[in-house]
Amino acid sequence: MEGYIINALAMNGTVRVLAADTTNIAREAQKLHMTSPAATAALGRTLTACVMMASLLKGEKDTITIQIKGDGLLGSIVSVADSKGNVRGYVNNPDIDIPLKNKGKLDVGGAVGNNGYVTVIKDLGLKEPYVGQVKLVSGEIAEDIAYYLACSEQIPSAVALGVLIEQDGSVVSSGGFLIQLMPDAGEESADFLEERIRQTEPISVLLARGMKPENIIEHLLENKDFRIVSNTPCKYKCYCSRERMERNLLSLGRKEIEDIIAEQGDAELQCHFCNAKYFFTREELQKIVSQ
Ligand code: ZN
């Protein structure tokens, strides 16, 4: 089943609410990277935040990269998404697992670590990408992204991200919501939403119960009016190709490629995002050097 992101405006256009079902994305990431439960949850949350934020970009080719780099065992988590709902990502140490917290909850913050940074790179097709960075708050990712949006982009935001994982490690549900207050949103709206968010169960539980993103928005707004602005299908998609890998090789520089030829003769490159392998023979490497 395909996932999707609903983007809605409420309270006379002063509040934006995004809700996403990314179950398909978390499952695909788990399959590609053979992630442990903790890694599945951490990567799934990051992919969800990334694809929701990217769905707000205007340009067709605009992209957002999120890097979460904590001092936990998972290492860095990287995710890249475009405005059309395509997202890909990886985690440095996908097989790291950690003991469960109380009530059987996954300790994502412990696996990510809370000393480190969230870095967001927005490539909007301008000469230079926009880069923002804040310190991690908890490593739980949703809080960290909310803090980034508040500090770096000055948008008061509430973010919820969740991946529900079965005992056997399979992904039951994955999704998130993102609520943003526009500059003209009133104090009352802010208080109302804060209370609603406090009362709402985890998003992964709502999805597992069969709620769709639009139902979750209804639920969050307690039947207040809202207008759906867009519905963006989302999926895990990698764009790697032999040509891209050749460009990566080229970017290493002549010296580096000559060293590879001297030491190994040929080279096998693996895509971080989907683990596809690309093989280059000695002759092909020499051709790349001569370019
Ligand atoms: Zn790939």
Is 94 in the same domain as 166? yes
> Ligand 1 mean position to 238 CA, how many Å?
5
User: In 92-251, which ranges are E strands?
Assistant: 117-123, 130-135, 157-165, 171-181, 226-236
Give the pLDDT band (50/70/90) at residue 102: low
CATH number, domain containing residue 146: 3.55.30.10
Task: Measure 75 CA to ligand 1 centroid, in angstroms.
Answer: 20
In this structure, the answer to whether residues 224 and 283 fall within a common structural domain is no
Per-residue confidence (pLDDT) for residue 99, from 0 to 100 = 75
116 and 260 in a common domain: no
Structure tokens at 229: 């602005």
Q: Are residues 282 and 142 in the same domain?
A: no
* One domain for residues 72 and 137: yes
Which tokens belong to 241?
A: 């190709």
**Ligand 1: distance of its center to the CA of 274 in Å?**
4
Which of 2-27 are b and which e, b meaning 16 or more Cβ less than 10 Å from the residue's Cβ? ebbbbbbbbbeebbbbbbbbbbbbbb
Residue 191: domain span? 3-236
> 51 with 152, same domain?
yes
Q: What is the mean pLDDT of residues 134-159?
A: 95
Q: What's the rounded mean pLDDT across residues 135-161? A: 95
- pLDDT tens digit sequence for 191-224: 999 999 999 999 999 999 999 999 999 999 997 9
Give the range among 12-26, 51-65, 242-256, 267-281 with minimum mean pLDDT.
Answer: 242-256
> Of residues 289 and 207, which shows the higher confidence score?
207
Is the confidence at residue 101, as pLDDT, over 80?
A: no
Q: Which helix (H) or strand (E) segment is 244 a member of? A: helix 242-252
211 and 251 share one domain = no
Task: Say if CB 69 and CB 115 are below 8 A apart.
Answer: no
Task: State whether 136 and 274 are in the same domain.
Answer: no
Q: How close is the Cα of 252 to the center of ligand 1, in Å?
A: 19
Q: Do the beta carbons of residue 141 and residue 117 sit within 8 Å?
A: no
229 and 277 fall within a common domain: no
**Do 9 and 114 have their domain in common?**
yes
Residue % of the chain over a pLDDT of 70: 99
Residue 104: pLDDT band with limits 50, 70, 90: low
Please tell me whether residues 66 and 163 are part of one structural domain.
Answer: yes
Residue finishing a domain among 210, 236, 262 = 236
Distance 256 CA to ligand 1 centre (A): 22
Residues of the chain with pLDDT > 90, as a percent, come to 82
CA of 240 relative to ligand 1 center, distance in Å: 4
If 0-12 CB within 10 Å is exposed, 13-18 middle and 19+ buried, where does residue 232 land? buried
Q: Work out the pLDDT band at 242, boundaries 50, 70, 90.
A: very high
Tell me how far CA of residue 46 lies from CA of 76, 106, 262, in angstroms: 11, 15, 39
Q: What separation in Å is there between the alpha carbon of 278 and the centre of ligand 1?
A: 10
Whether residue 214 is found in the same domain as residue 253: no
Ligand 1 centroid to residue 211 C-alpha, Å: 32
CATH number of the domain that residue 283 is part of: 3.90.1280.10
**Residue-averaged pLDDT of the chain:** 94
Ligand 1 center–CA 23 separation, angstroms: 20
**What is the distance in A from the centroid of ligand 1 to the CA of 272?**
7
Q: Look up residue 21 and give its two tokens.
A: 């079902």
Total domains in the fold of the chain:
2
